[in-house]
Chains A and B, each alone.
Chain A
Amino acid sequence: MSYWALSLTLIFVLIPLVLSKTLNLGLGRDMTVATVRSIIQLLAVGYVLKFVFDSESLIYILLMVALMIVAATHNAQKKGAAIQGITWKIAITLIFVEVLTQGILIGFNITPATAQYIIPISGMVIGNSMVLSILFLNRFTAEVEDHQDQTELILALGGTPKQAIHRQLINSIKASMIPTIESQKTVGLVQLPGMMSGQIIAGADPIQAVQFQLLIMFLLLTTAAVTSVFLGYLSYPTLFNKRMQLLKG
Chain B
Amino acid sequence: MSTQYKPAIHFQHVDYRIGDIEILNDITGSFPQGRITTLVGPSGAGKSTLLKLCNGLISPANGEIFIKDKAIGEYDPVELRRMVGMALQSAPMISGTVYENLNLPLELQGQQLSKEEALELLEDVGLKSDLLERKVKELSGGQRQKVSIARTLVNKPEILLMDEITSSLDRASKLEVEELISKINRKYNTTIIWITHNLQQALEIGDYTWVMMDGQVVETGESSLLEDPHNSRVNEFVKGVVS
Contacts and interface: CB of A to CB of B under 8 A. Distances in A.
Contacts of A157: 81-82, 85, 104-105, 108, 151-152, 155
Contact of A153 (B77, B78, B92, B109): B92
A139 to B, nearest CB: 17
Given A150-B92, A150-B94, A158 B59 contact: no
Contacts, number: 58
A152 B57 contact: yes
A225 interface: no
B103 to A, nearest CB: 11
Given A156-B86, A157-B104, A245 B94 contact: no
B229 to A, nearest CB: 32
A245 B58 contact: yes
Interface string A132-158: 000000000000000001101111111
A244 B105 contact: no
Interface string A220-249: 000000000000000000000001111000
Interface residues of B, number: 24
B14 to A, nearest CB: 15
Nearest to A152: B57
A243 to B, nearest CB: 5
B77 A149 contact: no
A140 B151 CA distance: 27
B108 A159 contact: yes
Interface in B149-207: 151-152, 155
A208 interface: no
A246 B56 CA distance: 11
Interface of B: 55-59, 73, 77-79, 81-82, 85-86, 88, 90, 92, 94, 104-105, 108-109, 151-152, 155
8 contacts: A149-B88, A150-B92, A152-B57, A155-B81, A158-B82, A158-B108, A159-B78, A243-B73
Given A157-B152, A244-B77, 5 more contacts: A152-B57, A153-B92, A156-B57, A158-B105, A167-B94
